[in-house]
Structure formats: C-alpha cells, structure tokens
Structure 1
Amino acid sequence: MTVQPLPVVTWVATGWDDPRVVRLRHLMDAEVGPRYARPDGGPRYHPPGPSASEVAVTWLALGGDEPAATASLRRLAVDGEPVRWEVKRVFVDPAHRRRGLAAEALRRVEQSARDLGVSRLVLQTGNLQPEAVALYERAGWEPVPVYPPYDAVVHSRCYGRDL
C-alpha cells in the first residue's frame, strides 16, 4: 500500500463569506456542536456569529484546491463595552491535521492584527475543546475573564494576548 503525500499548503487572505471558509465552518459546527448539546435536547444559547463587515481578514489554507484550515480577525463591538479585536473560528479539516496549520492560522491572524495597529487580541473557546485550549496556551495566550457576549454562554473560556 502506498501512502499519497498531502498536497502543499498555500495561504490566502479572503473574506468571511468565501464559500471555502463557510464549508470549513460547517465542518467545525458538525464536529464541535455535539460536545455542547443539552442533555434535554433543547436548543443551546450562542451569540450570533460575526457579520462579513466585522471581519477584517480571514486566512484560508488550501491543500491543493481543497480548503484545509481557517481563522479570522473580527472587530467586536458590543453595546456598552470597549471594542475588542477577536480571533474567530480557528479550524483545521480533519484530513489536514497534525501539520501545524492551526498554529500557523493563529500566527497569520496575529500578524494581520499587528499590521492594523492592534495591540491586544482576545478569543473565546469552550472548555469542552481541549485541543483549542492546548493550542492557545502553547501559543502564549493567557486566560482572561469571560467577556460579552460570551458571558451568557455555558462552558465559555476566554483568552487574551498582547501583541
């Protein structure tokens, strides 16, 4: 049996609504969503996701022509709260894992934020996503208090990082 090598990965800056990015977000929802399912089967609360106008850049890794990984930089404005710059939706397609793509996606979002003059980033994940927690902590992110709009989300865990 011969093993086919994985295709070379190329990175492109794109938008939140890019269909390849949307596809990866759907894969993420299908993988992570069941971890947070309510025992009674009822709907769980989660704040609305970013709009395309809130997202400064979305990085997309392509393995050949296939979407492999993504992460976005969002300008988060919540009524009565200071504006925050936030990392959103870091995800790697299972077929492309164990290649450092999540860490690279995070680095690219951080550099995009620096290029915009942003001095601090935040992000929200869940405590039922140990892979994400490990990634952020390895990359030097530190726990911060849960911030709006995630303060009403059960299992929220937030991180911050000075750039």
Structure 2
Amino acid sequence: MTVRLETGAGTGGPAVVTWVATGWDDPRVAALRALMDAEIGPRYAHPDGAPRSYPPAPSAGEVDVAWLALAGGEPAATASLRRLSVAGEPLRHEVKRVFVGPAHRRRGLAAQALRRVEGSARELGVRRLVLQTGDRQPEAIALYEREGWAPVPVYPPYDAVAHSRCFGKDFD
C-alpha cells in the first residue's frame, strides 16, 4: 500500500511524502533504525562505558508491517507493528521503532507513523496496542501522550530494563 500526501516541511516548505507498507528487513527501514540507535544510544550509555543489555530486537517474522515515509524518495520516518510473544505472557501487539530522520522533523511524521501502525493493527483485529520507550526520551513520551497513549505498567521483557516507560492504547 502506498499513500501520498502533502506535508509542510520544517524549513523547506511543502513536500510530498509517500508512505509505504514494507517489511522489517527493508534496507531503508534498517537504515533509519541505525540512525535511531546512533542518536538515542548515547542517552543510555553506561557511565563506565560498559555496554548495556537490552531484550533482543524483533525478528522479521515477528513484524506484521513496517511503515516507511519517503520524502523525495529519501527515507524520512518509520514505525513498525510487532507481535511480541514472551513465554508465560499473553501475546501483545507492539509499536516498535518510531523514528523520524533529523532532516524531516517538525512535520508531523511521527504522529502519522503511529496512526499508520494503529490502522494496520485495527485491520488485523487488534484491540490493544502497547509500546516501550525510555525515560530519557522526553520527545517520544510527549508524542505518545499527545496521541492518546496512556502509561501502563512496564511489561516483559522490558521489566528488566530500569529506564523503561510503557504506554498502551485501546481501540473500540
């Protein structure tokens, strides 16, 4: 599915953004995730430089869809819908890796990415979505709250990550 829409650019005026439903292993989505890791990772760096341990990243088989925004053909934003299965826990549908590249911010793309994932979840009959972020990402927390997401208890496997903040959203 491809959707085209006009959106105001942060500094360069209107631009056409094309949203594409793709997969977790799409190289353009992977490139945006790498940018996210490079930007967000230092916020959570261990004071002594030791690597922090995190739950494993999703596999391509767990991701129902990865939404990708293209601005002028360039990857601009992404968000994905994951089926999270943890032993002894109910299946959860989770939003993963909402990220907008630095050159494309302040255009509403993060909120659009969330809405795309929410729409995909509804199409699959999902009645509740959850997501995890960190307490050192105030811009992400503000986005989720602004978009109607409510704080929920930290759920596995993120309960082992001290800085986790989790949110949920129910659908009628």
Report the CA distance between 1:64 and its aligned residue.
Answer: 1.1
CA distance in 2, matches of 1:55, 1:38: 29
Report the CA distance between 1:56 and its aligned residue.
Answer: 0.3
SS in 2 for 1:9: strand
Cα deviations across residues 82-119 of structure 1 (Å, max 9, x unaligned)?
A: 00000000000000000000000000000000000000
Partner of 1:71: 79
Report the CA distance between 1:6 and its aligned residue.
Answer: 5.8
Unaligned runs of at least 5 residues, structure 1: none
Question: Which of 13, 19, 38 is matched with 1:11 structurally?
Answer: 19
Q: Note the 1:1-163 alignment, pairs <5 A.
A: 5=13, 7-163=15-171
Structure 2 letter corresponding to 1:136: Y
How large is the RMSD of aligned CA atoms in angstroms?
1.0
CA distance in 2, matches of 1:72, 1:4: 27
Report the CA distance between 1:49 and its aligned residue.
Answer: 0.6
CA distance in 2, matches of 1:5, 1:119: 37
Shift >2 Å, 4+ stretches: 3-7
SS in 2 for 1:8: strand
CA distance in 2, matches of 1:30, 1:23: 11
Identity over aligned pairs, percent? 77
CA distance in 1, matches of 2:62, 2:54: 18
Report the CA distance between 1:7 and its aligned residue.
Answer: 3.5
Alignment check: 8 A CA contact 1:6 1:63 kept? no
CA distance in 1, matches of 2:117, 2:165: 19
Structure having the higher strand fraction is 2
Aligned residue pairs, count: 161
State the TM-score, normalized to the length of structure 1: 0.96
